[in-house]
Structure 1
Amino acid sequence: MTTLDFDVAHLLSGLMVLVCFLMLYQDRLYSLLNTFALHAVVLALAVAWQAWIQAAPHLYVTAAIALLFKGVLIPVALHRLIRRMEIHREVETVGGVGLTMLFGLALVALSISVMLPVASAAGTLAREDLAFALSVVLLGLLMMITRRNAVSQVVGFMTLENGLVLAATGAKGMPLVVEISVAFSILIAFIVIGIFLFRIRERFDTVDVSALDTFRGDRR
Structure 2
Amino acid sequence: MHSLAFDIAHALAGSMVVLSFLLLYQDRVYALLNVFALHSLALALAVGWQAYLQDAHHLYVTAVVALLFKAIAIPTALHRIVRRLDIHRTLEVVGGVGRDMLAGAALVALAIMVMLPVTEGSNALARQDLAFALAVVLLGLLLMVNRHNAISLVIGFMSLENGLVLAAAGALGMPLVVEISVAFSVLIALIVIGVFLFRIRERFDSVDMQAMDTFREGRRK
TM class by shorter-chain length? over 0.9
For the pair 1:60 / 2:66, whether they are aligned, the reply is: no
In the other structure, the counterpart of 1:137 is 137
Kept after mapping to 1: 8 A contact 2:17/2:132: yes
Kept after mapping to 2: 8 A contact 1:50/1:59: yes
Q: Deviations over 1:121-152 (max 9, x none)?
A: 21111111100000000000000000111001
In the other structure, the counterpart of 2:154 is 154
Structure 1 residues not aligned, in runs of 5+: none
Task: After TM superposition, list the pairs within 5 Å mapping 1:161-172 onto structure 2.
Answer: 161-172=161-172
Structure 2 residues not aligned, in runs of 5+: none
Pairwise CA distance, 1:89: 2.6
Pairwise CA distance, 1:88: 4.0
The one-letter code sitting in structure 2 at the alignment partner of 1:209 is: M
In 2, distance between residues paired with 1:90 and 1:103? 21
Moved more, 21-30 or 128-137: 21-30
Tell me the TM-score normalised to structure 1 length.
0.98
**TM-align CA RMSD:** 0.9
Pairwise CA distance, 1:37: 0.4
Kept after mapping to 2: 8 A contact 1:107/1:138: yes
Runs of 4+ in 1 over 4 A off after TM superposition: none
For the pair 1:205 / 2:210, whether they are aligned, the reply is: no
* Total equivalences in the alignment: 220
Q: Percentage identity across aligned positions?
A: 69
In 2, distance between residues paired with 1:83 and 1:60? 33
In the other structure, the counterpart of 1:70 is 70
In the other structure, the counterpart of 2:47 is 47
Kept after mapping to 2: 8 A contact 1:16/1:39: yes
Task: After TM superposition, list the pairs within 5 Å mapping 1:76-95 onto structure 2.
Answer: 76-95=76-95
Tell me the TM-score normalised to structure 2 length.
0.97
Kept after mapping to 1: 8 A contact 2:38/2:71: yes
